[in-house]
Amino acid sequence: MTRHERRDPQPRDPEKSISRRTIVRGLAACAGATAAGVSGALAQATAQGSPPQGPVAPPSTVTNPPRDFSPRGVPTTYFWDPDIVAIDPSFNNLAQPNTAIKRLYTGVLWAEGPAWSSQGRYLLWSDIPNNRQMRWSEDDGHVSVFRTPSNNSNGNSFDFQGRQLSCEHLTRRVVRYEHDGTATVLADSFDGKKLNSPNDVVAHPDGSYWFTDPPYGGQLYEGEPDVAGGPSNAGGKLNPKIGQPAGFVPGRRELPTNCYRIDPSGRIDLVVTEEQVPDPNGLCFSPDHKKLYVASTGKGPGDTGPGGKGEVFVFDVGTDNKLSNHKRFTDCVVDGIKCGPDGLRCDVNGNLWASSNAGRSVGYSGVTVWSPEGKLLGRIRLPEVCGNITFGGPKRNRLFMAASQSLYAVYTATQGAGPG
C-alpha cells in the first residue's frame, strides 16, 4: 500500500471500478488471442505436412515449451498430473488424482536431506554449498533459514523420539540435536580413523542409527578436500583451510566407503562394506525393518576404484541386526536411461521410492517407484535432478523432493513408513 492510499479515507474497490464494457472488451481480446494461437498452431502443422492428431498434450517437463513450475505457471487442471507417469496399473493406487506437483521453493545451490518433523509440522532440508539448513512451514508455506552454519550437512532425518539427526560433511560426523537444542556427536570415527563424509542416516526402533559414509564431502563445493597428499587432494594444490573458521583442522580420507550401525550403547559396527556396496548413499528400511535398502552412486572424490554404478542393493536384516542375502535390487535403468538413485524411502506397502539423477536426459530425473519385488511401477518427472526425498505432512502422505536448486512436493495415495 502506498502512502497516498493510506491517506485516502475511502479507497476504491478495484473490482467495482471495472465497467461491463471493459470486461466485454477483455473477454473479446482473450477469445481473439486464443483463436489466433489455435489457427497459428494449425497453420504451422499444415505447413509441415502433419495435421494435428487429437488434443494438444498438457504442458509437462518433456513438452516444448516445457511446463512452468513457477508461481507464474498455469495451474494444472488435469485429473492426473502430466508428470506423474504410471508404468504399471498398480501405480494408480499409489498416485493421487486431482493434485499437482508443486515447486515450494527455489533459490538454494544444491538441495539435499529433506526430513519431516511431525512435532513441529515443518520440513527441513540441507543447502550443502551454502552451509545451511532450510525450513518450510506447513502452516503458512513460509521458508526460512533453519540452521547456519550447518557444517555442510547433507542427509537429515528424525528418530522415533522426534530428535533431528544430521550428517555433516565438513566435520565428518553424525550428530543428534536434543530437544533442548544441544548437539550430541554420535559418530565421527571408526577404529580410530576419521569418517569420510557421512551422507544419510535412518533410525531403527531398537534405538540404533544406521548411516552411509561415501566420500562426496571431500570437495570444495560440499565440504572440504583432504589435506595435501590425501586421496581427494593428491597434488596438494587445494587449501582446505580457506573459508573455514580459525582453528579448523582439515582431515584426510582414511576409510573405505562403508555403512555403519550406531548401537544404543554408542558402539559403532561395520554393517556393509565397500565391496558389497561401493559409494553408498541413501538408505532406508522396509516398513517391518526386515530389509535394508542402500543406494550405490557414482565415483566420488579420491576414489581409486571404479566407484558405484547407480544401483540399489537390498539386504535381509536379522533379529541380531546382522545382514544377509545381499543382492542387487535394481539397476535403475528406465527406457535405456540410467536414473541414478540417491535418496530412498519406503511407503507403508513396502514399495521403494528413489530419487533419480538422469543427468541431461530430460524427463527422467525426479523419482522412480519400485515394488518390493523390484518391478518399476511409476515415475515422477521433475525439471531438475532430484537428490533426496521424504514423506511428510500431517498425514505423512505428501512426498517432498529436494531437487538441485528447488524443493518440490506432491500428495500421494499412500503414506511413508517410519519417521521422517
Chain-centre distance for alpha carbon 408: 8
On whether residue 70 sits in a domain, the answer given is no
Q: Is 199 left (phi over 0), alpha (psi -120 to 50) or beta?
A: alpha
Q: How many domains does the chain have?
A: 2
Would residue 351 count as lying in a domain? yes
Which range marks the domain in which residue 104 is found? Answer: 84-411
Q: Is 279 domain-assigned?
A: yes
The mean pLDDT value for 247-276 works out to 97
Residue 341, domain member (yes or no)? yes
Contact between 163 and 178 under an 8 Å Cβ cutoff? The reply is yes
Q: Do residues 267 and 383 share a domain?
A: yes
Query: Is residue 118 located within the same domain as residue 215?
Result: yes
Report the share of the chain in percent with pLDDT over 70: 87
In a shared domain, residues 277 and 327:
yes
pLDDT of 119? 94
- Domain membership of residue 139 (yes or no) is yes
Instruction: Specify the CATH number for the domain of residue 156.
Output: 2.120.10.30
Amino acid identity, position 78: Y
Q: Which residues contact 216 (CB under 8 A, 6 or more apart)?
A: 154, 169, 197, 199, 222, 223, 281, 300, 301
218 & 366 share domain: yes
pLDDT at 350 over 90: yes
Q: Pick from 92, 196, 417: which is nearest to 287 by CA?
A: 417
How far apart, in whole angstroms, are the C-alpha atoms of residue 229 and residue 252? 9
* Residues 13-26 pLDDT 10s: 433 444 434 433 44
- Tell me if 407 sits within 8 A of 127, measured CB to CB: no
In a domain? residue 323: yes
Whether residue 108 is found in the same domain as residue 240: yes
pLDDT in tens, 29-65: 443 433 333 333 333 333 344 555 666 778 999 999 9
Indicate whether 27 and 96 sit together in one domain: no
pTM over 0.95: no
DSSP secondary structure string for all residues of 323-352: EEEEEEEE--EETTEE-EEEEEEEBTTS-E
CA distance 357 to 296: 12
Q: Does one domain contain both 21 and 165?
A: no
CB 260 within 8 A of CB 268: yes
Residue 103 and residue 13 share a domain: no
Residue of 117, 282, 307 lying closest to 199 (CA atoms): 282
What average pLDDT does the segment 208-228 reach?
Answer: 97
The label of the residue with cell 565397500 reads: 274
Task: Specify if 120 maps to a domain.
Answer: yes
Same domain assignment for residues 88 and 39: no
Pair 39, 120 in one domain: no
In the structure grid, which three cell numbers stand for residue 146, read together?
533453519
How many other C-beta atoms can be found within 10 angstroms of the C-beta atom of residue 289?
Answer: 16
Q: How far is CA 42 from CA 14, 35, 55, 58, 120, in A?
A: 38, 10, 12, 17, 53
**pLDDT (0 to 100) of residue 290:** 98
Same domain, 243 and 312: yes
Query: What is the pLDDT, as a whole number, of residue 54?
Result: 62
Q: Are residues 25 and 172 in the same domain?
A: no
Please report whether residue 160 resides in a domain.
yes
**75 pLDDT tier (thresholds 50, 70, 90):** confident
Grid cell digits, residue 15: 473490482
User: Do the Cβ atoms of 390 and 400 come closer than 8 Å?
Assistant: yes
How does pLDDT run across 110-154, given as a tens digit for each residue? 999 999 999 999 999 999 999 999 999 999 999 999 999 999 999
